[in-house]
Structures are given as C-alpha cells and as structure tokens.
Amino acid sequence: MSFHAPITIATAIQNIEKNQYLLPAIQREFEWGHEKIEWLFDSIMQNYPISSFLFWRVEGDTRKKYKFYQFLREYRQRYKTHNNEFPTNVHNDFTAILDGQQRLTSLYIGLRGSYAYRRPKVKEENTERTYPTRHLYLNIEKPLASQEDGRIYEFKFLIEDELRSDATKWFKVSEIYAISGFAQFSRYLREHNIISDFSQNTLSTLHEVIHTKPLINFFLETEQNIDKALNIFIRINSGGVKLDFSDLIMSIAVANWKHKDARKEIYDLVDSVRDKGFSISKDFILKTFLYLHSKDIKFKVTNFSVDNAIAFENEWEKIRDTILSMFDLVKSFGFFDSTLTSKNALIPIIYYLYHKNIYQDFSKRVEYSADREIIKKWLHVVLIKRVFSGTSDSILSQIRNAFTSDISTEAIEFSTLKFPIDSININIKNIGITDEFIEDILLTQIDNAYAFSILALLYPNLDYKNNDFHKDHLHPASKYNELEQDLQQKYGWNTYNSLKNLQMLDANENMSKNKKDLAPWVKKETDENRKDRISFLASHLIPDVSLELSNFDEFITKRSEILKEKLKTLLA
C-alpha cells in the first residue's frame, strides 16, 4: 500500500460516473444527513482538510470474486437508499473505495445528484409532496454571519419553490462541474451578470476547489487479496464511530456468502418489514441470527466466523421467513411500530417459531391459536415490565436457556412444548411486582407507548387483529375543566389522563360512547341494551359507585384498586 499523488474532486467525480470507482459489498450504505453534506462543502471552501482516502485497485480475476456497487446519485430518505450492484465480471479493472465512501457520495450528490428529505407535518408516503427532490445551492449574495460552528458559506439543499423569490441569490452547485476551464468560467460570470465582489470570489473559490486544487489524497492498495482488503477495511473502521460492530459483522457475511447477495437480501428484508408497518435495522437481523445459531450472541467480529457466515447463508430463507412471520404476528396482536417498545423482545419468539418449525402462517392457523394467546400475553408482560431495557444480551441468553441447553445448528425438539413462560420466568429470575411499580404503571398517559400493552393486557378480548380497538377516557377529556378545583388540585391532569381513567373499547362501543359522560353512557348501555350492570362494570373494570363527575374522588380511588389487583395477577 502506498500514497499516491492527489487528484481533484472533479476527477474523482468523473471516475465515479465512469464506474471506475465502485463500492465493495463490505461498505455500509450512505447515511449522512443533508446538513453534514452542506458542512462538507463549506469545509472544502474554507480549505479545511477532509482527511485522506483509502482505495483498492481491483484487477483481473479479482473482479469476478466479489460484489461491487455503484455510488448513490439520487438519494431519497427511507425509499431510495440502496446502491445498485454493478456487474464487474465483464468490466475493466477499477478502484474500490475502502475508506471515504460517505465523503465521496456526498460530493457526488452535491455536484451531480439530489437529496430528498421529509417535509415536516405531512403524511408519510413515498411522494414528492412528502419527500421533495432537492438540489444543492450556494448563497452567492452574502456570507453567513456569526455562526457558532464556524461556517462562512451557506450551502443548502433547496426545492424549486424555495428559489423563486431569491433566484439571483442562489447558485446551483452542479453547474460548476460543467464549467471546467478558466475562460469558460469567466464567460459564465459575464453571461449571468455576476458582478459583485463576493459573488465572483465565492464562485471562483468553488471553481478552484472542484477543478484545480488536488484535494483528494489517497492511499492505494494493489495486492489482489480479498482477505487482506477485508482486514484493512476492518482495521481502519474499528475505531471511533466510523463503523459499528454490526457493520463489521455484515461485512464478513457479505464477503463470505457464495450464492446470494447478503447485502441485498438483508436490506430487502428491512424494507419488507417496513412495508408491514415496522422498522428494524440490520443489527436486529444479525442479532437474531446469532441468537439462533451461535452460543455467544454478543456483537463481536470473532462471533461471525467464516463457518457462521456460511451457516447464515444456508439458513437465510428460513430466518427471513420467520422474521416476516413474527411481524405478521405482532401486527395481529394490534401493535404498531410506536407501541412495540422493544424489538429485542421478539427474538425469543422468533427462536421458538424457527426451531419448532411452525413459523409458516403462525399468525393465522387455527392449531396455533392457544400458543398465540400465550405468546401475546408474555410479550405484553415483558414490555410492561421493561425486561429488555437493561442488559439485553444477558436477558436474551437467560431466556434461551429456557428453551434448550443445546445451542447448535441442528434441529431442536419442541414437539411437546408450548411457549414456555414458566421456564422463562425461572431463568430470568422473574421481576417482582411492587406497589410502587404498579402505581407508576397506573399513571401511564394515554399517548405513552406503553399504554397499549397495559390496556391490551387488561382488555384481552377485543379484536386486535383487525385494529378494532380504541383507547377511551372513561370521564371524557373535555370534562376535566369541569372538575371541582379541589379535585383538580388533588389529582391533576396527569391522573385524569392516565390509565386510572382509561379503558379499551371496540369500535361499536366507542361510537356509542362518543365522548359521552360516563354515568349516562353506562346507564344507556345497561338499561336500553338490557345488559346486566354488574357484569358490564366488571368487564370494563369500572367500580360500582356513583359515576357522576362530582364523585370523581371515590371513582378514581376505587378504579385504582381494581386495576392494581388485576395487574398484580396479570404481571405475576
């Protein structure tokens, strides 16, 4: 490996466009935010160093032994983040980027591409309305003033509508790339009537740093040894925050899969889960694999040997399908991404479905209905008790011991088991439930992420599969200000808006209540609909006291007692 003569940014961009620069599959995806790109361009303009790069020259048969990807040119948050694979088996020799992908992609997007990020307060969808395409512009009218971060030049990703009122203020950065020579640059200034000193000096600096100054300093590795390239990549990325262990682990998996594109498969699974309404990362997938097939589940490079990577590829389709089945299951439980407060809590369930080989249509098949109810209750309980909020690896290992002591790639006999809640509780030294813990739970607010699990545990018989449920204030939220002042002072909104004054209703009941006062609603349901009052109150966990708002003191006290006793039993 040797240091080579530096090149200009324009030359680097040309190499990207000619596919002379490609990304090895071990590289993570592009992840810089638009602000970081804007700051990079300001740094270049101010002659700040942008660090050196590490390239690997790929020649001959090496081109056929590895997967490589093109640079991302048009980036759209969430929806256009994956690099396209480039077929190199019939390609000329080229250069792979081992260190510097984020910086080079940022330069490429700024000079040749676009960056779409989400508009605030609009509906989530893959459209121009939500994620408008933006191009990088430079303010050539005046410098930034008194910026704490030291920026002088205002670079900004803008949409067309943001340019109309100040069209002369903004220069589209991509235009500088096409203006290569000095004579061409001078002609551009004249034709566009750019005459102010600041404008001319700013554009002259931009032209110089892109076309004239050799700012891309790089080392070049030429040895045609994939293992050495991988080792270099790991060593240069193992410090600081450049690359986390999951990136390193995936780099090894990607390097050692023989018949499938690991990078594409893993990110396709991330996208498929997102289409079901949930967000996961590659970390979750890699952690799940380690949990299924490795005695040590910690994110360590040594835990992802070549043999493990081969096992990962061999078992991939079953792992993928089990994970997808898991998210079908939690969706049928009524969870949304925002209420599924720990994804790690799903990993033991995946282990159970995977090794028992019952993952196919587990959320639908009648013969699994009893098992589903057991799993649903367990999941709600561990989420409410925050079992996975601390040292998750330790908890996961303890839970796995409840299934079997034999952690291997061989099939594990589960034929006589249901999901083993009792054994799990023994292994994790089941967390005791104190009165203080219950009281904290009861003060959970209606929009808190944990409110769903608590209410679903208290009201288990609703149609969660079809999302036919609604959180409801027993005494309507709109009536809080009608409480007597002494009661408002005694309990406050945090009590009125908490589990103590909440219930879960199905859609029909919620329509019938429709923010009605509690007392007339109960009367209507039990008189007109001839329902037994005692059984109605019991099923809704409502105390048999006066339900008028004026009796809120007694109501909230009695309701708290009912909920405390119920939760002590459910969470035991």
Instruction: Note the pTM of the prediction, 2 decimals.
Output: 0.68
Q: Which of 464, 566, 546, 544 is nearest to 505 (CA)?
A: 464
Under the banding of pLDDT at 50, 70 and 90, the label for residue 240 is very low
Under the banding of pLDDT at 50, 70 and 90, the label for residue 234 is low
Measured in degrees and rounded to the nearest 5, phi and psi for residue 19 equal 60, 30
Answer yes or no: are the C-beta atoms of 217 and 9 closer than 8 Å.
Answer: no
C-alpha 500/C-alpha 264 separation (Å) is: 48
For residues 139-159, average pLDDT:
88
Answer yes or no: are the C-beta atoms of 127 and 76 closer than 8 Å.
Answer: no
Residue 423: what pLDDT?
Answer: 84
Least confident of 196-210, 230-244, 442-456: 230-244
Residue 29: what pLDDT?
Answer: 85
> Hey, which residues does 220 pair with through a beta bridge?
2, 55
Residue 247: what pLDDT?
Answer: 64
Residue 286: what pLDDT?
Answer: 87
C-alpha 204/C-alpha 215 separation (Å) is: 16
User: To the nearest whole percent, how much of the chain has pLDDT over 90?
Assistant: 61
Residue 96: what pLDDT?
Answer: 93
Cβ-in-10-Å burial (0-12, 13-18, 19+) of 227 comes to: exposed
Please say if the pLDDT value at position 422 is more than 90: no
Under the banding of pLDDT at 50, 70 and 90, the label for residue 119 is very high
Residue 417: what pLDDT?
Answer: 63
Answer yes or no: are the C-beta atoms of 157 and 34 closer than 8 Å.
Answer: yes
Would you report the helix, strand and coil content of the chain in percent, each value rounded to 5? Answer: 50, 10, 40
Residue 513: what pLDDT?
Answer: 84
Answer yes or no: are the C-beta atoms of 220 and 276 closer than 8 Å.
Answer: no
For residues 196-208, average pLDDT:
94
Residue 205: what pLDDT?
Answer: 95
Residue 431: what pLDDT?
Answer: 62
Per-residue pLDDT tens over the stretch 35-75: 999 999 999 999 998 888 999 999 988 887 778 899 999 99
Under the banding of pLDDT at 50, 70 and 90, the label for residue 467 is confident
For residues 430-436, average pLDDT:
76
C-alpha 112/C-alpha 216 separation (Å) is: 17
Per-residue pLDDT tens over the stretch 362-413: 999 999 999 999 999 999 999 999 998 866 788 898 898 888 644 443 444 5
Identity at 223, one-letter amino acid code: E
Please say if the pLDDT value at position 529 is more than 50: yes
C-alpha 302/C-alpha 286 separation (Å) is: 14
Measured in degrees and rounded to the nearest 5, phi and psi for residue 69 equal -130, 150
Q: Which of 318, 311, 310, 322 is nearest to 347 (CA)?
A: 322
Residue 9: what pLDDT?
Answer: 97
Under the banding of pLDDT at 50, 70 and 90, the label for residue 334 is very high
Residue 392: what pLDDT?
Answer: 78
For residues 418-435, average pLDDT:
79
Domain limits, the chain: 2-221, 245-427, 435-448+463-571
Residues with Cβ within 8 Å of residue 534, at least 6 apart in sequence: 544
List the structure tokens of 67: 């997967």
C-alpha 518/C-alpha 540 separation (Å) is: 12
Residue 242: what pLDDT?
Answer: 43
Residues with Cβ within 8 Å of residue 249, at least 6 apart in sequence: 286, 299, 301, 303, 304
Answer yes or no: are the C-beta atoms of 117 and 34 closer than 8 Å.
Answer: yes
Q: How high does pLDDT run on average in the chain?
A: 88
Per-residue pLDDT tens over the stretch 14-31: 999 999 999 987 777 899
SS (H, E, C) 265-299: HHHHHHHHHHHCCCCCCHHHHHHHHHHHHCCCCCC
Per-residue pLDDT tens over the stretch 282-333: 889 988 998 998 887 776 656 666 677 788 889 999 999 999 999 999 999 9
C-alpha 212/C-alpha 215 separation (Å) is: 9
DSSP states along 32-89: --HHHHHHHHHHHHTT-----EEEEEE-GGGGGSS-EEPPP-EEETTTB-PPPEE--T
Q: In the Cβ-directed half-sphere of 222, how many Cα atoms lie within 13 Å? A: 4
> Hey, which residues does 76 pair with through a beta bridge?
80, 116
The separation between CA 455 and the C-alpha centre of its own chain, rounded to angstroms, equals: 26
Answer yes or no: are the C-beta atoms of 86 and 69 closer than 8 Å.
Answer: yes
Residue 255: what pLDDT?
Answer: 67
> How many other C-beta atoms are found inside a 10 Å radius of the C-beta of residue 551?
15
